[in-house]
Homo-oligomer: A and B are copies of this chain.
Amino acid sequence: MGFVQRNADSHVDVLIVGAGPAGLMMANWMSRCGVKTRIVDKRGTKIFNGQADGLQCRTLEIFDSFSFGHRAWIESNHMLEICLWNPDPKTGVLARGDRIPDTIPNISRFQQVVLHQGRIERFFLDAIRENSIETGCNGEPGTKEAEIKVEHGVLPTSFQFEESAADDEDAYPLTVQLRHLTEEEATPTQKATLANGQSIVDGLFRSNLSADDTQDVINLSNSIADKAGRTETVKAKYMLGADGAHSWVRQQLGFKLEGESTDYIWGVLDIIPITDFPDIRMRCAIHSESSGSVMVIPRENKLVRLYIQLTTTNVEDGSGGKKFDRSTITPETIIASAQRIMQPYKIEYRYLDWWTAYQIGQRVGNSFSLHERVFLAGDAVHTHSPKAGQGMNVSMQDAYNLGWKVASVVKGQANCSILKTYQSERRRIAQDLIEFDHRFSRLFSGRPAKDVMDEEGISMDVFKDAFEKGNMFASGIAVDYGASVIVAKSGSAKDQGDGTEVLGDEKLRVVSSDGLATGLEVGKRMPSFKVLNQADARPWHFQELLKSNGTWRVVVFAGDIRDAAQKRRLDRLGEKLGGEDSFLRLCTPSGARYDSVIGLLSCHSAPRQETTIFDFPEVFRPWDENDGWDYWKVHVDDQSYHEGHGQAYKNYGINPTRGCSVILRPDQYISWIGEMDDYKSMDSFFRGFMVDQRTKGGAKTAIAEGSKKGLFAGTTAGTNGLRGAANGVEMTAGDGATQGAGGM
C-alpha cells in the first residue's frame, strides 16, 4: 500500500470529507470567510450520481448570494408548469386533467430549474478558487497557495476525538488519518448510485461536462500519481462528514439512519425523447389506469428525464421483505413501461444519456453532530425519493446553514453555543422532508381512483392538492427555523426544532415584535422586493444586498425621514450605533471597519428625489479616508425608471412613517424584528452569543484607548472639513479641507 510518510502532518480549522454538493457548499463558505480548510474525496474523479437535479428557488437565491446564481439560471432548463395527466373519467383514455404553476408565483425572484450536477460542482469549484485566493484561506491572500483545492483520491482511514479538549476553542481535538489512493483505487467503475444507497450498473454513459474541466482532470491525475500510497495525519478543530449515504464519518461516530424502504420501484431514463406527447417539455405527473405512473422532468440540452414506475420486478429478499430483481431492469424494459403508461401517445429515443433504477427508502440520522465538533450533512443523514427534486437542495442547504456558524466560531466572532442550532434546525428539516416524501411518494406511486367509491385508489383532487402544497415545501422558501439563541421568537425552542436545547439564558431572551412587519416572519428567510440605491437610483432586489460573506446585518427601515419626529429617532439611533461602545464596534476586531462583522443597511420611505445620503447619520454611510463616503448602504422604497416600484414597505408590511428594524443572520434568515430605534433589544440580542472583541483573549483593542468622539474619531484631519458637512452649501471648509487628498 505504499510507505507511510510519518512527518506529513497538518493542522486545519476545518476538514471536509466528501466533495459532493454539500461538501462543496461547506468549502465555499470557508473560502468566503477565509477559514483554513481541507476538503478530501475518495473518488478520483467526479461521478455523476443521478446526473441532474432540480434546483429549488431557495437554492438559486443562495447561489446568487455567492454571485453565481446567474450561471445556473442561464444554463439550466426552467420548469414553469406542471401538467397532471390521468385517465379521462368517461373514456378511460389518458388526458390532461389540470395544469398548475411549477413554482408558486411571487414566492421568490427565481423559479425551479433543472441542471446537470457536474455544472453545479463547476460553479462551486470556480467560486472556491476565486474566494480562497481573495481571502487567503490556506496562505497569503492573492497567492495561488491560498487556494482551497479539492483533494480527490484521498480516503480517511482512522478517526480519533479527544473529548477533554472539546470545550477549548483553540484546541484541535480531531485527528484523522488520510490515505492517498493510487489512481486505480480512486477510479470507480461507472456506477449509478441509487438514492437509497444501492447501486446498479448503468447502461450508457457519456459525460456532458463542459470543456473547462479538462485542465482539472489532468491536474488531478498528476496529483494522484505524485502522492499515491502516502498516508498523513490531519489535526482539525471541526470536521464535516458530507460523504454520502454510506458515510464513513457517520460510521465512525456510530450514528444511525432511522427509517425504512418502501416497495416502490422506479426506473430513470435521461433521453432525448421522440414523441407525440404534447407536454414533453412540461413537468408532468402521469397516472395510468393500471400500469403505474411516469413523471416527466424536462432538462437542458433537449434532454428529458423520465421517472417510470416499475411494477413487475419484485422478488422476496429472503427475510420476508421485497427487493427488486436487478437483472430484469434495462433501459429497454424501462422504456417499455413508459410506453404502456403513456399510451396512446408514443415515446421512443435514439439518444440515451444515462439511466438507473431505485427503490424508495426514507431515513433520517439520529444525530447530526458529535459535541459540535463533528457534523454530518446531506445524504449522510437523510435519504429519500429523488422525484421531488429535494436531495441535492436539502444537502447543500444543510452545509449552507452550518458553514457561517463554524466560520464565525473559528474566527472568534461568536461563541460555540450557536453550533447546537445546526442539528436543531436541520434535523427538523430532514424530518419534515421525510414526512413530505412519504406522503408524496404514496400518492405518486398509487393507482388513480376509478371513482369516489374507490377508496384504495388515489383521488386526483387529493393528488393535485398535495402537489400544490408540496410545491411550497419543495421550493425551500417555507423553511422556518425555530426559536434559539440566534432566532428571537416566542414559543418552545424544543418543539420548533428537533428537540435539541438551543436557547441561552432565559432571562436574556429577546423576542421579536412581529406586528411591525406583517410580511416578514422571524425564522424564515428575508423575502425580496426591489428598492433603489439612494445615491444612484439603481434598483436592486433586496436580497442582492445580502451577499453571503459571513456578516450579520441590521436593516433599518427608517420610515419617512422627512417627518421631524422620525428623523430625531433615526438620529438618536445613529448616535448609539455610532458610539464607541456600540455593539457594532464591540463585535469588530481592532483595525477592521466597524461594519465588517455586523453590517448596517437602511431603507427609507421618503421620496428619493427629496433626500440624499447626507440626510442619514454618518454611521449609515461609512467614511473611508481613501474612498470618501460609502454610497452603497442607504436605500429607498420608490419608483424606478425602468423596473417599476418594488413597494417594499407595503410588501414587508412595514409602517411607512415609523419603519422598523430587522436583524438578519449571515444566511439571510430573520433573527429579530423590533422598533426602528430599539437599540437596547439589538444590543441584548447580539450579547447573547457574540464575543466582545475588547476582552477576547485578553487583547485590548484600540477602542478602549481611542478617542472619546465615537466611531469617526481618528480619521485624518485633512478631510474633516468634507466629512463634517451634511450639505456642501452650508459647509465651512475645515483645516486643509481641499489640500488633504493625495495627488493634488
Contact = CB atoms under 8 A, between A and B. Distances in A.
Contacts of A722: 274-276, 346, 348
A272 B537 contact: no
B335 A614 contact: no
A725 to B, nearest CB: 5
Contact of A727 (B276, B351, B725): B276
Given A350-B742, A642-B111, A80 B276 contact: no
A12 interface: no
B733 A346 contact: yes
A650 to B, nearest CB: 18
A339 B204 CA distance: 71
Interface in A311-343: 331-332, 335, 339
A738 B277 contact: no
A57 to B, nearest CB: 10
A599 interface: no
Contacts of A631: 280-281
A276 B335 contact: no
A628 B272 contact: yes
Given A332-B744, A339-B738, A626 B348 contact: no
Interface stretch (A97-105, A429-437, A588-596, A679-687): A97-105
A339 B280 CA distance: 65
Contacts of A350: 625-626, 741-743
A176 interface: no
A85 to B, nearest CB: 11
Nearest to A339: B738
Interface in A598-623: 609, 612-614
A456 interface: no
Contacts of A272: 626-628
A626 B628 CA distance: 61
A625 B351 CA distance: 11
Contact of A274 (B277, B280, B302, B628): B628
A691 interface: no
A263 interface: no
Contact of A626 (B79, B204, B351, B614): B351
A78 B533 CA distance: 11
Interface string A711-743: 000000001011001011101010001101111
Contact of A276 (B81, B345, B640, B725): B725
A70 B72 CA distance: 13
B278 A744 contact: no
Interface string A389-418: 000000000000000000000000000000
A333 to B, nearest CB: 10
Given A331-B743, A346-B737, A741-B349, A101 B731 contact: no
B332 A642 contact: no
Interface string A348-368: 111110000000000000000
A121 to B, nearest CB: 20
Given A352-B743, A631-B281, A743-B350, A728 B344 contact: yes
A273 interface: yes
A178 interface: no
Contacts of A640: 80
Contacts of A332: 743-744
A538 interface: yes
A535 interface: yes
B741 A274 contact: yes
A298 interface: yes
A728 to B, nearest CB: 4
A138 B621 CA distance: 54
A97 to B, nearest CB: 13
A728 B105 CA distance: 31
A276 B344 contact: no
A281 B536 CA distance: 5
A209 B473 CA distance: 44
Contacts of A275: 628, 722
B536 A80 contact: yes
A609 B719 CA distance: 64
A74 B538 CA distance: 13
How big is the A interface, by class?
35 or more
A744 B537 contact: no
Contacts of A742: 349-351
A641 B345 CA distance: 27
A641 B81 contact: yes
A348 B728 CA distance: 13
Contacts of A719: 274, 348
Contacts of A105: 641-642
A93 interface: yes
Most buried by B among A298, A349, A727: A349
A614 B280 CA distance: 12
A150 interface: no
Contacts of A298: 536
Given A80-B537, A278-B612, A282-B537, A273 B628 contact: yes
A348 B70 contact: no
Interface in A56-95: 70, 74, 77-81, 93
A728 B536 contact: no
Contacts of A278: 612-614, 727-728
Most buried by B among A81, A335, A344, A348: A348
Nearest to A718: B348
A737 B298 CA distance: 23
B729 A93 contact: yes
A123 to B, nearest CB: 14
Interface in A518-551: 533, 535-538
Contacts of A78: 536, 538
B729 A346 contact: no
| Leading 6 A-B pairs by shortest Cβ distance | A348-B741, A345-B728, A274-B628, A281-B536, A278-B612, A80-B537
19 contacts: A70-B70, A77-B536, A78-B536, A81-B641, A103-B642, A111-B641, A274-B627, A274-B628, A275-B628, A276-B722, A277-B728, A332-B743, A344-B729, A345-B728, A346-B722, A346-B737, A348-B719, A348-B740, A350-B625
Given A77-B536, A274-B628, A275-B628, 18 more contacts: A78-B536, A99-B609, A102-B641, A105-B642, A272-B626, A272-B627, A273-B628, A274-B719, A278-B727, A278-B728, A280-B535, A332-B744, A346-B721, A346-B731, A348-B722, A348-B744, A350-B743, A352-B743
Interface of A: 70, 74, 77-81, 93, 99, 101-103, 105-106, 111, 204, 272-278, 280-282, 298, 302, 331-332, 335, 339, 344-346, 348-352, 533, 535-538, 609, 612-614, 625-628, 631, 640-642, 719, 721-722, 725, 727-729, 731, 733, 737-738, 740-744
